[in-house]
């Protein structure tokens, strides 16, 4: 077994496909390929992922992405139809200004997937590959530079397997939840209002209550379950295109994440989308970009 190999765990029946990101002695540290989960496993418990498993995971992920796109496109058509009925979008002589996203991700591959999908959904976004433990410090530099409307803080997390069930309310029982909490607090030191700067934070099995209490609008994971890599992005995109006069429909946005209410939860939150006129005077937002070098 080598770093980068795709593997499954024999003792778990091969339920999740992982990539090996580090080997220390006879223990491998793993990252979920389609879910934002960190895990440790004895090298002896690992099996190479079969081509069938790899193909199945790729096909399932593609179906999930297409489902997200279809639902988002339906909601966009409904929104535009409503605007036309009220006269706000008459003759299409307007320009659109959706909310701008600053996305920090502890996994570079997931960040690339997210940025590609932001591009498809026409959401202006800037992405940075930043280790979870470095996010709080990075935000102090990035927030005044980017001036986003929405901040997404995600990567990998997990409940430590040696913790008892009674310990799930302690931040020390999680691999990265305390880093996400510190990052959310850094955002709130910059802007304390949940209306003017929206925060979506967490990964698989993250400490939902601590993230909300520290200032997040949406967070994972109420049921301490695995979340799909694209769930934070989906919520951010919905908020980016929800008009500023409206709040995001909680049931609608959360039920249509791939992990549902067990995976993501949140608070009433205002949208960031604005329309303007005249269209001809508007200069397009620069293309989305990804920065791999940590700031």
Tell me phi and psi for residue 266, to 5 degrees: 180, -170
CA–CA gap between residue 217 and residue 211 (Å, rounded): 9
Output the CA–CA distances (angstroms, integers) from residue 57 to 51, 60, 61, 257, 273, in the order listed.
Answer: 10, 5, 6, 18, 34
Strands (E) located in the chain: 6-9, 18-24, 27-32, 38-42, 46-48, 95-97, 101-105, 125-129, 150-154, 198-201, 218-219, 265-266, 274-276, 289-291
Q: What pLDDT score does 96 carry?
A: 85
Per-residue pLDDT of the chain (295 residues; tens, 9 = 90+): 888 889 999 888 887 888 898 898 889 988 888 777 778 889 999 988 888 777 777 777 677 667 766 766 666 655 665 555 555 555 557 788 999 999 999 999 889 989 988 988 889 999 999 999 999 999 999 999 999 999 999 999 989 877 656 688 899 999 999 999 999 999 999 999 999 999 999 999 999 999 999 999 999 999 999 888 889 999 999 999 999 999 998 888 887 787 889 999 999 999 999 988 777 655 555 557 777 655 4
Residues 156 and 32 sit within 8 Å (Cβ to Cβ): yes
Residues 6 or more apart whose CB falls under 8 angstroms from that of 188 comprise 199, 214, 215
CA atoms of 227 and 204, how far apart (whole Å): 5
φ, ψ of residue 32 in degrees (nearest 5): -65, 140
Q: Note the pTM of the prediction, 2 decimals.
A: 0.84
């Amino acid at each position: 077994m080598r770093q980068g190999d795709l593997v499954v765990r024999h003792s778990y029946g091969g339920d999740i496909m992982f990539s090996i990101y580090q080997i220390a002695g006879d223990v491998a540290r793993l990252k979920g390929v389609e879910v934002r989960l960190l895990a440790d496993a004895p090298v002896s418990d690992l099996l190479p992922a079969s081509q069938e498993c790899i193909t199945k995971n790729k096909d399932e992920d593609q179906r999930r992405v297409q489902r997200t796109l279809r639902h988002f496109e339906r909601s966009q058509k409904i929104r535009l139809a409503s605007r036309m009925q009220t006269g706000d979008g008459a003759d299409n002589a307007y320009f659109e200004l959706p909310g701008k996203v600053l996305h920090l991700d502890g996994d570079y591959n997931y960040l690339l997937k997210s940025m590609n999908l932001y591009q498809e959904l026409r959401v202006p976004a800037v992405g940075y590959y930043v280790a979870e433990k470095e996010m709080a410090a990075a935000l102090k530099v990035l927030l005044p530079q980017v001036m986003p409307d929405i901040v997404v803080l995600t990567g990998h997390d997990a409940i430590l397997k040696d913790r008892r069930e009674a310990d799930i309310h302690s931040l020390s029982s999680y691999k990265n939840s305390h880093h996400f909490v510190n990052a959310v607090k850094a955002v709130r030191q910059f802007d304390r209002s949940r209306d003017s700067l929206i925060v979506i934070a967490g990964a698989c099995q993250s400490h939902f209550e601590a993230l909300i209490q520290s200032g997040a609008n949406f967070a994972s994971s109420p049921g301490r379950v695995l979340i799909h890599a694209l769930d934070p992005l989906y919520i951010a995109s919905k908020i980016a295109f929800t008009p500023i006069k409206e709040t995001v429909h909680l049931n609608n946005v959360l039920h249509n994440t791939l992990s549902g209410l067990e995976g993501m939860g949140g608070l009433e939150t205002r949208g960031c989308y604005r329309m303007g006129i005249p269209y001809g005077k508007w200069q397009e937002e620069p293309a989305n970009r990804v920065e791999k070098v940590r700031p």
